[in-house]
Chains A and B, each alone.
Chain A
Amino acid sequence: MSAPRPASPESIRAAASEPLRRFLQVARGAGLRVSAAEGIDAARALDLVGFSDRTILKDTLGLVLAKTADEKLLYDETFELYFQRDEFSGANDPETKPGPEARDLRQWTRDISHGMGGSGGQSLSELLESDDRAVLAMAMEIAAHASGIEKIRYLTQKNRYALQILEHMGLRELEQQMAALRRTGTPDAAARVQLLEERVERLWDTVRDFVERSLLLYARGETEQFRERLLKSARLANLDRHHLERMRVLVRQMAKRLAIRYSRKRRRYQRGQLDVRRTLRRNMGWGGIPFITTWKQQRIEKARVMVLCDVSGSVAWVSQFLLMFLYALTEVLSDIRSFAYAGSLMEVSDILENHSIDEAISRVMAAIGFGSSNYGNALADFEQGWMKHVTHKTTVIILGDARGNGTDPRTDIVGRLAKRAKRIIWLNPELRSAWGTGDSDIYRYAPYCSLVRVCSTLSDLERVFADLLEEAA
């Protein structure tokens, strides 16, 4: 489209509003957050560019509706799905150009939806024989909306909806006609039946495809929300590997939310303490007479964190998520130093900083993971190498089940650590009922920690970090 469209604005608006409204509904369903104001912007933008050029249409809606990299991806997918209507080749977007034949078709579909297939306009058999794909596509869409395809939510509903759509298109009557034809038995009729059978078969496939796409379109947002809720409260140790990708996204989202909430305040005014230098400077304009006073400010320090992660078999999964969470929070934390331990302990900050988080974690695991843990050894390693870096500003987070397989727990080291550090937080992925049973030393460590928490789900993790940041602010 190059020049402003000659048609009157009203007619354009009328053509644009319905498909756009439905697309917005679909986009929201897919998880795009489209506000009402953005919907209006989209309509105004469409008035400008029209529907005629698909790439421009896509770019335009993308500018208005999708506002982050993730949303752009989602938008691209949704757009392709929604505007992909070429299953009947030759049907170039029937909705935007309702020509005269389309109106006939409306009449026709109204007839069949009232169960009068064949008596009014064309019957399904005639449609199939004429093989007019544009009209067929149109009929399918109308039948789909008559059967309420927007409400499809589950995979198992696929066949039911497909059948309903076909019935709305007049499948029953068609079957009766075909049965009648078969009874006549003439070679001509037999040929017609065969042709119809082939075409119905193809129609079935098309309708099934259509329903499948609709399922993707309408149900994705909701199923994803449901799954996210489930994943947040599921025990990390029980999660399947194929959820990993989704969990990563979730962790990033949660971390981002926390980061935004706590990155706001960097300074705090200390009321009552005059900042003489800045006050004088600000009031130069009045000859140094202090009309406006400036108070001293205190910079809010980012929390310094040292984190010790158990990467032995039993807890490795949770450690992975803890690290992921921690590194997604670099905006609000400073000086994160991370250590991994099982039988012994090593610093893994470098690995985590220089590689993408996924690769880094697999490297860490490969270097030290999946052995059996020896807390005494690991703590001794830490004291020897890094205790001197712990200051009164450091928060030490230890993640582990405190099961040292009967080895010396070296609680004395934790005691010394507690004296140096601001505080120690111990996160235990085990349920509380299992604490203290068997070789669990958690109750021997607990007295030295300022906080001991169960940490087995993503929600637990989020809560721990929210508390941590709250206290730092």
Chain B
Amino acid sequence: MDNSEQDNLQRLIGSIDEVDAGLGAAGYIASRQISTAIYIAHHLRKPILVEGPAGVGKTELAKSVAAWLALPLIRLQCYEGLDESKALYEWKYGKQLLYTQILRDKVGTLIGDADDLGTALTRLHAFGDVFFSKSFLEPRPLLRALEQPRGAVLLIDEIDKSDQEFEAFLLELLSDYQVTIPEIGSITAAVPPIVVLTSNSTRDLGDALKRRCLHLHIGFPDEQLEARIIASRVPGIDARLLVQLVAFVQQLRGLDLKKLPSVSEAIDWARVMVLMHTSVLAEDMVRDSLNVLLKFESDIEAAAKRVADFTAKARQAVAVNR
């Protein structure tokens, strides 16, 4: 284990406040809960399972941690049918085949003077499993994450989309930071990666997996946090517009919609506003750009009825906040 690298990380993640500041510098405005989770996950060496609605920054969290700690981000996108040959390793069949062809003569001379089959076999055995060694191994994301000399941030995205078998397969990696390759043996991480798993709860994850992880639920942020997030992502935004915009989005989340507008949609919307050089939330403007916030026709219809009301209230929010 590389101690100096480990110490370095240890120093960077010294306290919850430092996590807060570090993520902030990487452009991720974290709630206290999120910083606490990162801090504890690192010190207990536990993976974090992040759940929450789409677009609240689950994936972004992993990216920002990687950016802050200057570690490589290794991402594994899960889907139905994902198996270990795509997630962990694959033998380089082509290379194996090519090498056996090239080395055929060499092998021939080596065992050419053997008297019988037994001796020939013994000689061959002496070379070990040359064709099943690490140089013929094609590492996939999980193995790559373990092999990084300085540690890594491993993002296992949308774990709920993978099959149950794959979830079980992950258990060894998540609890011991090692994987077993039958032909080679167990490979243990030089520096344990920081593992972030995300899930949209399309299916329930197994208890065994959950037991091995810390569980962080990221919900929609409150008004102040959301304003800070948007301000950091859309730097040019007018302060008054920002408050109004956030107030509007927050009201929208109170409606019974198929898909509630998330932080990422709010950021997109703020960008649209900035592009259009608006400085005050105007009703017709909101109506025209509602499709940035809402992704279903029925949602847009439902929200359109309340636009006038919400815009008026959002404008008042400024007065209150001042």
Contact = CB atoms under 8 A, between A and B. Distances in A.
B214 A64 contact: yes
B166 interface: no
A56 B211 contact: no
A41 interface: yes
A451 interface: no
B37 A63 contact: yes
B204 interface: yes
Contacts, number: 82
Nearest to B201: A69
Interface size class of B (residues with CB under 8 A): 35 or more
Interface-central residue, A1, A4, A67, A263, by most chain B CB under 10 Å? A67
Interface stretch (B12-20, B146-154, B262-270): B12-20
Interface size class of A (residues with CB under 8 A): 35 or more
Interface in B86-134: 91, 93-94, 96-97
A45 interface: yes
Interface stretch (B40-48, B56-64, B244-252, B283-291): B40-48
B33 interface: yes
A450 to B, nearest CB: 30
B215 A67 contact: yes
B44 A35 contact: no
A260 B210 CA distance: 15
A3 B11 CA distance: 11
A45 B40 CA distance: 6
A284 to B, nearest CB: 7
B44 A285 contact: no
Interface in A14-61: 33, 35, 37-38, 41, 44-45, 48-49, 55-56, 59-60
B43 A35 contact: no
B228 interface: no
Nearest to A38: B211
A286 interface: yes
B217 interface: yes
A4 B14 contact: yes
A184 interface: no
Contacts of B14: 3-4
A2 B96 CA distance: 54
Contact of B97 (A45, A64, A286): A286
B93 A285 contact: yes
B253 interface: no
Contacts of B17: 2
B52 to A, nearest CB: 10
A4 B15 contact: yes
A146 to B, nearest CB: 36
Given A49-B36, A63-B37, A63-B215, A41 B46 contact: yes
A287 B97 contact: yes
Contacts of B217: 69, 72
Interface string A118-140: 00000000000000000000000
B295 interface: no
Given A37-B211, A285-B97, A264 B40 contact: no
Nearest to A354: B298
Contacts of B51: 69
B216 interface: yes
Contacts of B93: 284-286
Interface in B234-258: 256
B215 A263 contact: no
B313 interface: no
Contact of A59 (B15, B32, B163, B213): B32
A56 B204 contact: no
A256 interface: yes
Contacts of B91: 285
A2 B211 contact: no
B36 A59 contact: yes
A45 B204 contact: no
Given A48-B43, A68-B215, A286-B97, 4 more contacts: A41-B44, A41-B214, A63-B215, A68-B210
8 contacts: A35-B211, A63-B36, A63-B40, A66-B215, A67-B210, A260-B204, A285-B94, A287-B97
Interface of A: 1-4, 33, 35, 37-38, 41, 44-45, 48-49, 55-56, 59-60, 62-64, 66-69, 72, 256, 259-260, 263-264, 266, 284-287, 331, 354, 356
The 9 nearest A-B residue pairs measured at CB: A285-B93, A67-B215, A67-B210, A63-B214, A59-B36, A59-B33, A2-B15, A2-B17, A45-B40
